[in-house]
Amino acid sequence: MSSKQYVAVTYDVCKVENLFEDMNHYQLEPSINMDEQVNQYAKQDIAPVVRVYEKRNANQTSNLYKEYHFKEYDCSCSSEI
């Protein structure tokens, strides 16, 4: 099988605390729409940023494929300033 694999990583971001931390890694299902899966994981983890990395094979480092931003999941403390 030569099909590309994609891994979604959810990030916890706080501009106030200068935080940018990865939370969870998810193997994406190639038969399901990528946006749908990313939306679901962002909602599940309340992640304002989700990055999708492309994995060509197990021994290679992943390349950033796409970055998603979800303003609705931005941490609440930034709005209080």
Binding site for Zn ion (CB under 5 A): 14, 16, 75, 77
DSSP letter for each residue of 45-67: HT-SEEEEEEESSTTSPPEEEEE
Q: How far is the CB of 77 from Zn ion (least distance, A)?
A: 4
Q: How far is the CB of 48 from Zn ion (least distance, A)?
A: 10
65 vs 70, beta carbon nearer Zn ion? 70
Q: Which amino acid is at 49?
A: V
Q: Which is nearer to Zn ion, 13 or 34 (CB)?
A: 13
Contact 14, 49 (CB under 8 A): no
Q: How far is the CB of 19 from Zn ion (least distance, A)?
A: 7
CA separation for the pair 58, 27 (Å, rounded): 13
